[in-house]
Structure 1
Amino acid sequence: MTVVELGLRERKKAATRAALSRAAARLAVRRGVAAVTVEEIAAAAGVSPRTFHNYFPGKEEAIVAPLTDGAEAVIAGLRARPAGEPIWESLRRVVRDVLLPSGAGGGVDTETLALLRTVKADPSLVARQLCGLGEMQRRITEVIAGRTGTDPSRDLHPHLLAGAAGLALRTTVDLWADSGGTADLPALIDEAFERLRAGLPGP
């Protein structure tokens, strides 16, 4: 298989995963998690249930995937930032870019807001989301270690940075979602990372 063919294959797989996760999220928001089946998700995405299971072990993982599949974008963003840029600034900018793509205005889209509310109301989805975010944090830790010249097998530094950045991301998005999407998400992101950079001074 050539490099071009391999690239096309990987893009097709990514597109199929995205289609399945979007279908799962929309069905869960519309009908509730308990009423959604793998067969319905697969049909909505135009694939078979067998294909579904090539990408996700169950419907819960597919439903939360739009909220946990951002690792690649974060990793690519961190690698693209200037080498001499302070790591907190790099993390802040990357989180903003991932959460606020061009044209998103003051917040993420209404579908994501509805999905966040659905996930928060279902303990099984919260558990799956935390597992997915944990894997994202592990991968981001490795990139931060490369940027900071630390060893993730021995040093706390990259783990603490990745963990704090992940907490900032989750907290700001939760506050934004709890406000019904009316809070200023860019301002929340900036404040969260500035407070972390300053060592969490008192209010």
Structure 2
Amino acid sequence: MTTTRRTGLREQKKRATRVALREAALGLALERGPDNVRVDDIAEAAGVSPRTYNNYFSSREQAIVAAITAEREARIAAEVAAAPAEDRLADALTDAILTRYTEPGDTERFLITASPPLRDAFLEAATEIEHPLADAIGLRLGDTTTPTARVLAASVAAAVRIALHQWLGATIDRSAGNGGLVIASGSLPDLLRATIAPLAPAIDAAEERSRQARSG
């Protein structure tokens, strides 16, 4: 067996373990409620040790959120990369993000509003979009060597996180017994458009420089 094949099999096993852990975390959270799930329970359900669990996730909240947001980042990047060449990059970015973040399902709404730790994990997960999006932007610009694509991707990730933070923090229910849990409120699509819009001039400028470099 070649080294490349061994490496490939090892990566497949790691991905399978990660999927098993996040699916176990989500299943237990829906069955028992997020606060009644322990890391040891998740590890047991996935057939691994707690030590192995800690190699993949730093908390139960991180694993639960990973199950909810699985594949979202890759799909956004793929849609940006696949957008017609004549489409404005800023529009392609906005459309892909709105498509994947609009109208979260009932499971997502329940879990991300269930507790502050889950909310925080959900917000932190927004940063995961940065690396795949940087690759997609670099391909669109024909520029994978300068920091431009990474800077733009990091800015977009920050804009998404700000929109989500505002969306989740728009209303706080402080009625007796709920601990002041955050309840999602307002229009997430409108918030996403508003936070991404200020980045459009920088994205347009990068796209224009790329166009000039190709024509020159």
Secondary structure of residue in 1 paired with 2:84 = coil
Which has more radius of gyration?
2
Q: Deviations over 1:86-145 (max 9, x none)?
A: 111111011011112xxxxxx3234323433456x239x847963x54443122212211
Secondary structure of residue in 2 paired with 1:136 = helix
RMSD over aligned Cα, in angstroms? 3.6
Q: Deviations over 1:61-82 (max 9, x none)?
A: 3123134752221122222211
Partner residue, 2:64: 63
Partner residue, 1:76: 78
TM-score (norm 2): 0.62
Q: How many residue pairs align between the two structures?
A: 175
Structure 1 contact 42–49 (Cα < 8 Å) conserved: yes
Equivalent position to 2:195, from 184, 192, 197: 192
Partner residue, 1:160: 151
Partner residue, 2:41: 40
Partner residue, 1:49: 48
TM-score (norm 1): 0.66
- Residue 115 (str. 1) matches residue 115 (str. 2): no
Secondary structure of residue in 2 paired with 1:122 = helix
Q: Which amino acid in 1 is paired with 2:149? A: P
Q: Which runs of 5+ in 2 are unaligned?
A: 1-8, 171-182, 203-216
Secondary structure of residue in 1 paired with 2:104 = coil
Runs of 4+ in 1 over 6 A off after TM superposition: none
Q: How does 1:166-181 map to 2 (within 5 A)?
A: 166-179=157-170, 180-181=183-184
Structure 2 contact 98–189 (Cα < 8 Å) conserved: yes
Q: Which amino acid in 1 is paired with 2:166? A: L
* Cα distance change of structure 1 residues 151 and 22 upon mapping to structure 2, 3 Å threshold: same
Q: Which runs of 5+ in 1 are unaligned?
A: 1-5, 101-106
Structure 2 contact 112–122 (Cα < 8 Å) conserved: no
Identity of aligned residues (%): 18
Higher relative contact order (CA 8 A, sep 6+): 1
Q: CA deviation at 1:186?
A: 1.8
